[in-house]
């Protein structure tokens, strides 16, 4: 009696194709392990629900401009002192900081950032301080990450501090078309798989690299960055420019993109052409903070917002200009806590001396001394 053929014997062609594919995939990931180099930004990943974030439990190094500094994340993908598991339900008072690159603390190790300084002091105060801040976050992303953590993951905290600055008005416009829709586990898994493949598959990473290179070239030629001198804040020629490109994935206003002044967000309020755009950016930001406030109210969390200045505002000596006033009024109307960090940097001191002392050279971000100053001011508020 003839032996019955199994599924592979019945389909030799298909078997061969599947086998070949499997071999290719295995070899691809194997070669990926050897040949795909991790770079200083590879811990920054796409997030389907809140646009972008940090890879959890990662211990490595990163770079903002020249200094290479340690970058460590905890199990939730928050910048931290060590890789550690964060319980969703805290066993003590927990404060969450949300913000952008200033709060992430670019160019400094975590313990030298204001959140790191406060986190280390918090241990004595029976409080836990976490920072979910990431470069180029703005109110919309603050709301989305908070919603993701609280409504989908069951994360709990007692207070949230949101750091807001003038770059948010541009980010809010850029993220206006970014809508993650309803939370879906499959979408979450898929983007994680994509992130993994980008790092580990030789074929996929090569395709991505080529695509990114082309995209960057197109973006920089379209936006005329580095070809025209921007009036006001010229984008610093640092590695952050690569990051800058990656945040425009959902922005398709080519006319705006091609206007060099669009990239000098620090000057929008002093530019007749851009003042309306700036106001729209503030409105979008405030509507997202309002959503965050409603979310906080649902979870019984106290919300505080803090505003801080850029170089342009310091040199113009604007302690209480339209920008600050607008956020202050908004906070008062909606019963949100408000911290104005402008007087900390705009006072009797010479503005250029302040910039030299507390900011990274030629950059709007705080240096070590700047972070110490901010931490000192926040201590008045955060400890109960």
Partner 1 sequence: MKKDIKKWQGNWKKMCGNNIPSKFLVCTVSILMFWSCSPRSSYQQRIDEYQVTPGKRYELAVAIGEYAHYFPDDVEILPEYAEILLTKGFYDECISICDHILERENNAWETYYTRAMAKSLIWDFDGSLNDLQIMLQNWKTTKKIEESQSLIRQYAEIHESIQILDKKIRDHPTEYSLYKNRGDLFLSMNEPVAAIADYRFCLDSAGFDHEVIWNKFRAEILNFDFEAAEQDIEQIRLSNIQDSMMNLELMSSLITDARNHSVIIKNDPGNIDSYLELARIFTFLEIEHKAIEYLSTALEIQPDNIQVKYHMAVVYAFSDKKDKASKILTELETQGVQVPDQLKKMIE
The contact set with partner 1 (CB under 8 A) reads 61, 63, 65-68, 237-238, 315, 317, 347-353, 356-357, 360-361, 367
Tell me the closest approach of the beta carbon of residue 122 to partner 1, in angstroms: 27
In what helix (H) or strand (E) does residue 127 lie, and over which residues does it extend? strand 127-131
170 neighbors 265 (Cβ within 8 angstroms) = yes
Report the alpha-carbon distance of residue 261 to residue 276 in Å, rounded.
Answer: 13
Nearer to partner 1, 109 or 337 (CB): 109
Tell me the closest approach of the beta carbon of residue 66 to partner 1, in angstroms: 4
Nearer to partner 1, 238 or 286 (CB): 238
- Residues sharing a CB contact under 8 Å with residue 142, sequence separation 6 or more, in sequence order: 98, 99, 162, 288, 289, 292
Q: Which residue has the tokens 């241990």?
A: 123
Structure tokens at 168: 């948010």
Nearer to partner 1, 56 or 351 (CB): 351
Tell me the closest approach of the beta carbon of residue 357 to partner 1, in angstroms: 7
Nearer to partner 1, 58 or 140 (CB): 58
> Alpha helix locations (H) across the chain?
7-10, 12-35, 101-104, 114-122, 139-147, 167-174, 185-200, 202-223, 240-246, 254-257, 275-298, 311-315, 322-333, 342-345, 351-358, 368-382
Nearer to partner 1, 285 or 370 (CB): 370
Tell me the closest approach of the beta carbon of residue 254 to partner 1, in angstroms: 29
Nearer to partner 1, 254 or 362 (CB): 362
Report the alpha-carbon distance of residue 249 to residue 226 in Å, rounded.
Answer: 20
- Residues sharing a CB contact under 8 Å with residue 41, sequence separation 6 or more, in sequence order: 62, 239, 242, 243
Tell me the closest approach of the beta carbon of residue 220 to partner 1, in angstroms: 16
Tell me the closest approach of the beta carbon of residue 241 to partner 1, in angstroms: 11
């Amino acid at each position: 009696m003839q032996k019955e053929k199994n599924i592979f014997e019945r389909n030799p062609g298909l078997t061969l194709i599947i086998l070949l594919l499997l071999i290719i995939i295995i070899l691809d990931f194997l070669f990926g392990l050897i040949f795909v180099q991790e770079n200083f930004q590879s811990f920054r990943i796409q997030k389907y629900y809140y646009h972008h974030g940090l890879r959890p439990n990662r211990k490595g190094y990163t770079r903002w401009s020249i200094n290479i500094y340690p970058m460590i994340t905890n199990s939730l993908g928050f910048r931290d002192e060590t890789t550690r598991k964060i319980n969703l339900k805290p066993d003590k008072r927990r404060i969450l900081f949300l913000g952008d690159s200033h709060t992430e603390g670019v160019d400094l190790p975590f313990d030298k950032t204001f959140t790191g300084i406060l986190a280390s002091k918090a241990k004595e105060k029976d409080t836990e301080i976490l920072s979910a801040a990431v470069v180029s976050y703005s109110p919309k992303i603050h709301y989305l990450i908070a919603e993701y953590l609280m409504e989908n993951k069951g994360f709990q905290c007692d207070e949230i501090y949101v750091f807001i600055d003038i770059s948010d008005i541009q980010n809010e416009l850029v993220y206006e078309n970014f809508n993650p829709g309803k939370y879906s586990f499959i979408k979450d898994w898929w983007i994680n798989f994509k992130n993994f493949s980008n790092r580990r598959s030789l074929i996929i990473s090569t395709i991505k690299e080529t695509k990114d290179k082309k995209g960057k070239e197109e973006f920089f030629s379209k936006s005329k960055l580095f070809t025209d001198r921007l009036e006001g804040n010229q984008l610093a020629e640092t590695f952050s420019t690569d990051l800058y490109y990656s945040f425009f994935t959902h922005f398709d206003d080519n006319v705006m993109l091609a206007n060099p002044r669009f990239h000098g967000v620090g000057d929008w309020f002093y530019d007749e052409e851009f003042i309306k755009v700036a106001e729209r950016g503030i409105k979008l930001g405030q509507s997202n903070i309002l959503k965050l406030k409603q979310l906080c109210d649902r979870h019984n969390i106290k919300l505080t917002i803090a505003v801080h200045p850029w170089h342009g505002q310091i040199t113009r000596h604007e302690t209480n200009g339209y920008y600050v006033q607008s956020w202050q009024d908004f906070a008062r109307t909606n019963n949100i806590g408000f911290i104005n960090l402008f007087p900390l940097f705009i006072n009797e001191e010479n503005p250029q001396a302040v910039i030299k002392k507390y900011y990274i050279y030629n950059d709007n971000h705080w240096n070590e001394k700047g972070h110490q100053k901010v931490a000192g001011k926040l201590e008045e508020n955060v400890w109960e």
